Amino acid sequence: MKTANRNDFTQASTGGKGNSFFSKAGSGFWLIVLGAAMWGIDPLFRILLLESMTSSQIVLLEHVIIGLVAAPILWKNRTELKGLGLRQVGALLFISWGGSALATLMFTLALQHAGGAFNTVLLLQKLQPLFAIVLAHFMLKESLPRQFGPLFLVALGGTYLLTFGFTIPFGHAGEFMQLGSLLALGAAALWGGSTVMGRYMVGKLKYETVTSLRFILALPLLFAITAGEGAAWALPAGGVALTLVGVNLLLQALLPGLLSLLAYYKGLKTTKASVATLAELSFPMVGVLVNWLYGGEVVTPAQVIGFILIWSVLFIISRQQTQEIGPGRLAQEAA
């Protein structure tokens, strides 16, 4: 199975001539940037859906929709599942139960309990790189990019400017001890760990298979959580209102849900977890644009500076990958 994956990837990445889009070393990095950028519109959908459903109901229906789309993909690639060991099964359960079910539920709850302080929730998500880098060091034995420390600090500084501007929000320690903040911190830890586990599994399975398993394996846990919650389904009674909720849920599941993760795991095949977690910082930049377009919040000079800082870091790291990793090594690592 491992040899087949290597051959499939080599053929797809080189196209026989080594000049296709995916033969470029930096393309995987930018696919992760694209996938993470789609997450920037996710809070908008969730906030609207929270008017009609509980957090667990939203996450459950989201996974049901994606599971229906992903099931044929998983069935087609079912032979890949033969021979998986306990380590791989554990990684898949972490990705699905932790990174998909629990983390998404905790993030949705964080938005619900944030009291309008969505910036605090977003900032805490930027702690994902810290969790991912530590786990990647111990599990994947990854080395860091050149000058990773300074670049990482610049990226976090840019993220801070995007979310808080030039203000200092830490005047009261209790701000980060609220329920919404603790839930956001838990989601950041699970998503950071899921990045590492995902990088590990795309070396064993096709990225489409990993994406499918992420959502399908999470369904039993989400059914149990939603049933145990016992909350009534307060869906709109009117046909038009119910249709709008359905369309909103469908778009939320397919765009920042399924499509973003397909791009994400495709890029993760050729990108280190410690580097991928920096690429995910494209999420707050899109969040700023959504706040501006939907909420009428004008982009501030601080946010412009933060945008430039983060994209400068992304560009530097992408150039490093392009220069240091050739197509042959990418094919070898992807296998």
185-236 pLDDT per residue, tens: 899 889 889 988 988 898 789 888 998 999 999 999 999 999 998 887 777 7
Q: Please, which residues have CB within 8 angstroms of residue 65's CB and are 6 or more apart in sequence?
A: 249, 250, 253, 254, 257
273-307 pLDDT per residue, tens: 778 777 877 887 787 777 677 766 667 788 788 87
DSSP-derived letter for residue 326 is: -
DSSP-derived letter for residue 48 is: H
Residue 44 lies in a domain: yes
Q: Please, which residues have CB within 8 angstroms of residue 264's CB and are 6 or more apart in sequence?
A: 31, 32, 35, 36, 198
In this prediction, residue 117 carries a pLDDT of 61
Residue 333 lies in a domain: no
In this prediction, residue 332 carries a pLDDT of 46
At residue 258, does pLDDT exceed 90?
Answer: no
54-83 pLDDT per residue, tens: 889 999 999 999 999 899 999 999 999 988
Residue 185 lies in a domain: yes
Which structural domain range is residue 225 located in?
39-323
46: confidence class by pLDDT, cuts 50, 70, 90: confident
DSSP letters of 113-173? Answer: TSTT-HHHHHHHHTTHHHHHHHHHHHHT-PPPPTTHHHHHHHHHHHHHHHHHTT----S-G
6-19 pLDDT per residue, tens: 233 223 333 344 44
CA dihedral of 97, 286, 167, 119, whole degrees rounded to 10 = -30
Residue 20 lies in a domain: no
Residue 17 lies in a domain: no
Taking Cα atoms as reference points, which of 321, 268, 251 lies closest to residue 95? 268
Plot region of 15 (φ>0 → left; ψ -120 to 50 → alpha; else → beta): left
Residue 31 lies in a domain: no
At residue 261, does pLDDT exceed 50?
Answer: yes
Tokens of 286: 């899109």
Residue 10 lies in a domain: no
Number of domains in the chain: 1
CA angle, residues 102, 104, 105, in degrees to nearest 5: 60
Residue 190 lies in a domain: yes
Query: Which of the listed ranges 90-99, 131-140, 245-254 does the model predict with the highest average pLDDT?
Result: 90-99
Query: What is d(CA 21, CA 26) in angstroms, rounded to the nearest whole number?
Result: 10
Query: What is d(CA 245, CA 32) in angstroms, rounded to the nearest whole number?
Result: 29
At residue 119, does pLDDT exceed 90?
Answer: no
Taking Cα atoms as reference points, which of 194, 188, 186 lies closest to residue 265? 194
48: confidence class by pLDDT, cuts 50, 70, 90: confident
